Amino acid sequence: MILYGLSTCDTCRKARKALPHADFVDVRADGVPRDVLAAAQDRFGDALVNTRSTTWRGLSEAERARPPLNLLVDHPTLMKRPLVVDGSRMVLGWDRAAQAELGVV
Active-site residue (options: 3, 9, 15, 37): 9
Query: In Å, what is the CA distance from 98 to each residue of 48, 56, 57?
Result: 14, 24, 26
Give the C-alpha separation, 67 to 94, whole Å: 25
* Residue 9 is among the residues annotated as catalytic for this protein: yes
CB atoms within 10 A of CB 4: 27
Q: Which residues are catalytic?
A: 9
